[in-house]
Structure 1
Amino acid sequence: MRILAAIMLAVTLPMTSAAYARATDATNVPPTSAITSPTTQLPAPTGPFAVGRNVVHLVDTARKDPWIPAQPRELMVSMYYPAQQGGGQRAPYATDEEIRLLLAGQEMTGVPVQALSKAGTNAVVDAAPVNGSYPLVVLSPGFTASRYTLTALSEELASRGYVVAAVDHAGESFGTEFPGGRMSTCVACKQIDAGTPLSVVAETRAHDVAFLLDSLTAREPVWPHAHLIDTTRIGMAGHSIGGASAAAAMAIDGRVRAGVNMDGSFDGAVPVAGLGQRPFLMLGTDSDSRPGGGGDPSWDEAWGRLRGWKRWLTLVGANHNSFADTLALAEQAGLPNQTALRGGRAVDLTRAYVAAFFDQHLRGVGQPLLDGPAPAYPEVRFNKP
């Protein structure tokens, strides 16, 4: 199945053959002739903290990269954290070359690179942290996408008192810049197209996360602010195959106490034995997450295997790309939105429900928002298979 797709500007790509089919539907391709290069801006976080950001490069010398076996496995990680108020340089959204490669991979023409690469963010580079003990949330992007596509969610969680590790997995995005300007491209794409199962991606990412946690919690941690992390309160969320990777990581690493899958096929990531009593949130769309049939069968399978606290929520009117912030940025850049749910509103909904989930299950603070439909969020449907 063909990987490249032209669904919408800067979107994360699907992880299953069924989702690939949706991605290549020509009716989803919007016109680009009228797009200009306006300023774009991520929404302001709603929490009480300012947000800081550092970037960490990790090399797992004990593990070969599955896509380029001659090389060790590498990760690029953006660390977001509660920071002291004050000025400073705003963290860049992405480099021009990363966005250029994304647009080329998406086969999009006429879209100004800097409409995305220069998007305004809210995190300050190397800001002084607010000392404390905070839960850690790992975020994993969709296949072919980079960690920057989850920037709005990263900033929101950090503003609410979380440490966030947004991960780029080498060889699995159209373009991720490594130290020295070295660019990692989607080596995995050709191998997946040639028949390598997508489950290999989720399994690889699960081990990436275990290595990341080892590196952050070691006696000599790789991140200078690692003392902020409460190692007993770790969760993970991901979009598309990143969501399946959250379940896969929980299956092999008991340190991950709670997980969220944002519209990704599970593809067996939840084992038959389940994930114990650990909580899991399934946040999807109408098109591929219809309880009881007519959607992605892996969601029904995963639901039956999850034995702890669980919710299956649908963002009515959303599409696969609504869970990443790039859809909202694309709207600001002038790209018509083909979905019923506006990109900016989808970001608000995603931030609200993911944050509520982790507040309840990593902080122990009850969240009525997770108990049933809320008048403030009529687009969110609670499914009860």
Structure 2
Amino acid sequence: MPAAAAAGGTLYLPKPTGPRSVGTVALYMKDTSRPDPWVPAVRARELMISLWYPTKTRTGQRAQYMTPTESALLLKETEVPGLPADVFSTVRTNAVKGAKPAGRRHGLPLVVLSPGFKMPRTTLTALAEDLASRGYVVAGIDHTYENIAETFPDGRVTTCVVCEGDHDPSLFTKLDRVRAADVSFVLDRLTGAHPIWKGSSLIAPSRIGMAGHSAGGASTIAAMVADPRLRAGVDIDGTTDAGILNSELSRPFMFLGKPETYTPGAGNPEVAEWERDWKLMSGWKRWFLLTGAVHDSFTDMAALADEVGVDVGAGVTGARSLEITREYVGAFFDRHLLKRARPLLDKPSARYPEVKHCAPETATCK
């Protein structure tokens, strides 16, 4: 068992790798133009988002990872025994709460992050902090009633209405479109005429991208189809849904997943969905697989599981898989939003031998 767990020590997220300090703030947003798609009696779609961004502030209160209630509900969902109910509320993060944003006007690219089905936005915090330390504004979205727990400023905690009942393909197609609408609304509120955030003037409106894990990854395609402001996208281990991408997508796109599910030519339904969409992608594109990964390897959950001694079944440590995820996603956005050369994306790397570059046309990975 890792030392932190054995000694009852504090769980922690890995430090960001970029040169900048990171600030964070949570924002409440209300879209009065539509009722909630999952609970129609709610007359407006309410969202919580977290922003991570560069700051010159180096000291101050670190943001709470989750509330105790959110922690307890996540533990109940994941059915991990023997841990304190509030364990995730004490995770040590790296971003200073409420720190003043730093940058030049329209100088910072924006990356939207969408979490997996049932998962709160906080499960992508390590990726968000790392991107912010590299000079990005990052917006993590909680898609209300699609996750196990979401806390609003007035103290309300919503839970996962969508989790109830059968989950046929039509539900996930709807979920993709709901999330796409959420993303467009968030972009409106961050970059429109009356922005909700005091640092919005720092965002470069022509340099916006999106990445997501699982359902969030699949929703990235839906959001790009619906909103041309999204210039580049990443699907992290998310099976895509039929009926979303029906025509050519010429903007840069990257798939990052686990070999068990997404090895080209395997013939299983999940990889067939990626192969279908790959054929419609006419721009820059890559297909990477992380050897030894499981579904949670690309999020904070695998690294935190290692710290408490929980085996998630991965053949790669949570710290290593998170390092690789941050490096490849960061390189992708550096290349396509900042126009920086990133050779890592062009050929196999001796530094990251676990990552296989795949060519679906020939069903090969090397």
Q: TM-score range by the shorter chain?
A: over 0.9
Distance 1:324 1:259 in 2: 17
Once the two structures are superposed, the pairs formed by residues 192-207 of structure 1 within 5 Å of their partners are: 192-193=166-167, 197-207=171-181
Distance 2:168 2:206 in 1: 41
Aligned to 2:364: none
Q: Are residues 1:82 and 2:57 paired?
A: no
Answer yes or no: is the 8 Å Cα contact 1:135–1:362 preserved in 2.
yes
Answer yes or no: is the 8 Å Cα contact 2:57–2:96 preserved in 1.
no
TM-score (ref. length: structure 1): 0.88
Aligned to 1:116: 88
Answer yes or no: is the 8 Å Cα contact 1:53–1:78 preserved in 2.
yes
Distance 2:111 2:210 in 1: 5
Q: Would the alpha carbon gap of residues 196 and 178 (structure 1) be closer, same or farther in structure 2, given more than 3 Å must change?
A: farther
User: Of 284, 295, 304, which residue of structure 1 is paired with 2:279?
Assistant: 304
User: Of 252, 257, 263, which residue of structure 2 is paired with 1:284?
Assistant: 257
Shift of residue 96 of structure 1? 0.8
Identity of aligned residues (%): 48
Answer yes or no: is the 8 Å Cα contact 1:42–1:152 preserved in 2.
yes
1:134 maps to a residue whose letter is L
Distance 2:331 2:243 in 1: 24
Unaligned runs of 5+ in 2: 361-366
User: Of 180, 192, 209, which residue of structure 2 is paired with 1:218?
Assistant: 192
Aligned to 1:126: 98
2:186 maps to a residue whose letter is L
Aligned to 1:361: 336
Q: Which whole-Å deviations, capped at 9, do the CAs of 1:325-367 have from their partners, x for residues lacking one?
A: 1110111112124210111100000000000000000000010
Answer yes or no: is the 8 Å Cα contact 1:244–1:269 preserved in 2.
no
SS at match of 1:43: coil
Aligned to 2:214: 240
CA RMSD of aligned residues (A): 1.5
SS at match of 2:254: strand
TM-score (ref. length: structure 2): 0.93
Shift of residue 270 of structure 1? 4.9
Distance 1:225 1:95 in 2: 25
Answer yes or no: is the 8 Å Cα contact 2:294–2:313 preserved in 1.
no
Aligned to 2:41: 70
Name the count of aligned residue pairs: 351
Q: Are residues 1:294 and 2:267 paired?
A: yes
Distance 1:180 1:312 in 2: 43
Aligned to 1:328: 303
Unaligned runs of 5+ in 1: 1-33
Q: Are residues 1:44 and 2:15 paired?
A: yes
SS at match of 1:247: helix
Aligned to 2:126: 152
Q: Which whole-Å deviations, capped at 9, do the CAs of 1:211-263 have from their partners, x for residues lacking one?
A: 11111112220111101100000000000000011110000100000000000
Shift of residue 318 of structure 1? 0.1
